[in-house]
Structure 1
Amino acid sequence: MTAASAGPGAVRPGGRTARVRAAVLRAAGDALAEGGLAGLDLADVARRAEVGRTTVYRRWGSPANLVADLLADMAEQSLPRTETGTLAGDLRANARLVQRTLADARQGALFKAMIAAATCDEQAAAALHRFYDTRVTEWEPCARQAVARGELPEGTDTREVIRAVSAPLYYRLLTTGEPLDEAAADRAADAAVAAAKAGVFVTAQP
C-alpha cells in the first residue's frame, strides 16, 4: 500500500511539506488517543501541530481523511516481519509486536479510537481495512514458508493463520481489560500454530 492510496494529504514529499505532514499526523494521533473521532477537530489539530489552519483544511479536508492518512503512515512505519526459521518463532515475534503496540498507553488508546471510528465512518473503516491488509501481507510469508517446509499442510489459508495470531490480543484490548503481556502474546501465537498444524485453516485441496 502506498501513502497516496489513503486519500488527501497522503503524499510523501520531502522538505517542509513532509515535516508539516509529520507534525499534523502526530497531533492527530494525540487528539484521537485522548478523545476519539468525536474529539478530532481539524482546527485543534492545526493548533497542536503549530501549523496554519488553512494548510490542514486544504490538505485533509475532514477528520476521516486525516484518520485515513494516519493509518497509512502507521502501516508504512510498522516494523518489518521477523524470520526465525520456524513457524512458532515467527508467529511469537508477530504476536509480541502486536502486544507491545497495544499495551502502550498511547498506541492502545489510538487503536481503540480508530476501531471505534471505523464502526461509524465508511472512510475510516476502509482505511483500517487497508492498514490490516498491509500488516497481514507483511507477515503472511511466515506461514507460506511453513507450508513449503512441511510444517503446515498444503492448502492452508496462510493469511488466516496470521489473523488468528492478533485476534485474541485485540479481543482482550477491547473487551476484557486484562493485561496485555508477553504471556498473552505467546499463548495467542501458540494457539494459532497448533490450530494451523491441525489443519483448521486448510481451505483448499492440496
Structure 2
Amino acid sequence: MTEREVRRRPGGRSARVRQAVLDATVEVLLARGLADFRIAAVAALAGVHETSIYRRWGSREGLLGDALLRSADHELQVPDTGRLRDDLVTYAVRLATYLATPVGRALDQVLVLGDDRPAMVEARARFWAERAAGSTAMVTRAVARGELPDTVDPRLAVEMLVGPVHFRLLLTRDPVDAALATRLVDALLHGIVPP
C-alpha cells in the first residue's frame, strides 16, 4: 500500500495522529494547567512536530477547543428517553458528573478563564455552538412530540438548565446530585411560583 493510499484511508495514520495529539492535549492540560499549557509539550508527548499541530489547529486555543469538545461529546451523550423531563434530568446529572472530573474542570477553566483574543473567542463560540446543536435536540424533540409549544426557544431552555449546574460546580463548588438536577428541571418546566 502506498503512503498516499494510507493517507486517504479513513481511520488511517492521520486519524491516529489526530487522536494522539488530542489525547496529549488533555494530558498536558491536566498536568500543567491552562497557564502553563504549551503546544511544545503536546507535540513531544504525541510524537509529532509543533508545526504539524499549528498547521492543523492554528493556535493553542483551537487545539484546546477541539480536544475538550471531543471529550465533552464523548462523555456528554444527549439522552433520548422519549420524555423531556427524563431527558433533561439525565443530561443535567451527566453534565454535573462530567464537570466534577479533572477533564470537566479543565473544560470550565478554558471556557471561563480563556482570554478574549480572536482565536479564543472563536474556539469558545465553536465549542458552545456545537454543544448547543446536540443538547437542544432534547427540546426540539419535545416540541415535535407536543410536550412543549413551538414558541419555546430550545437553546435558551438548555442554557437555563446548564447555567445553574456550571454556577454551582464552578463558582460555589457545591455538588449537583440527581435530586438537585430534578429540582432544576422541574423549576425550568413549571416555574418556581406554584399554580
Matching residue of 2:140: 144
**Secondary structure, aligned partner of 2:35:** helix
Q: Structure 2 CA distance, aligned partners of 1:117 and 1:25?
A: 20
Take 1:113 and 1:54, find their aligned partners in 2: how far apart are those partners?
26
Unaligned runs of 5+ in 2: 1-8
Query: Identity percentage over the alignment?
Result: 37
Q: Residue 32 of structure 1 contacts residue 110 of structure 1 at CA under 8 Å; is this kept in 2? A: yes
In the alignment, which of 14, 17, 25 is matched to residue 17 of structure 1? 14
Measured on the aligned residues, the alpha-carbon RMSD in Å equals 2.9
Instruction: Please point out which of 40, 46, 60 is paired with 1:63.
Output: 60
CA deviation string 1:163-194 (max 9, x = no partner): 11111111112210112333333332222222
Query: Corresponding residue for 1:186?
Result: 182
1:29 aligns with 2:26: yes
Extract unaligned runs of 5+ from structure 1: 1-11, 199-206
Q: Report how far residue 118 of structure 1 moved.
A: 3.4
CA deviation map 1:8-33 (0-9, x unaligned): xxxx9532221111111111112223
Deviation at 1:72, TM superposition (A): 4.6
Provide Cα deviations, 1:24-60, integer angstroms capped at 9, x if missing partner. 1111112223444321211111122233344334433
In structure 2, the CA distance between the partners of 1:141 and 1:16, relative to structure 1 (3 Å rule), is closer
Letter in 2 for 1:42: I
In structure 2, C-alpha distance between the alignment counterparts of 1:131 and 1:157, rounded to whole Å:
19
TM-score (norm 1): 0.75
Compare 22-31 and 50-59 and name the one that shifted more. Answer: 50-59
Give the 3-state SS of the residue equivalent to 2:191 in structure 1.
helix
Relative to structure 1, the CA distance from residue 20 to residue 167 in structure 2 (aligned partners, 3 Å threshold; closer, same or farther) is same
> Contact 1:36–1:114 (CA<8 Å) still a contact in 2?
no
TM-score (norm 2): 0.78
Q: Provide the aligned length of Structure 1 versus Structure 2.
A: 186
Q: Once the 2 structures are TM-superposed, how far is the Cα of residue 75 of structure 1 from its aligned partner? A: 5.7
1:11-160 → structure 2 map (5 Å cutoff):
14-74=11-71, 77=74, 79-104=76-101, 106-160=102-156
Secondary structure of the structure 2 residue equivalent to 1:151: coil
Check 1:134–1:115 CA distance in 2 against 1; reply closer, same or farther (3 A cut).
same
Instruction: Provide the secondary structure at the position in 2 that maps to 1:37.
Output: coil
Aligned position for 1:169 = 165
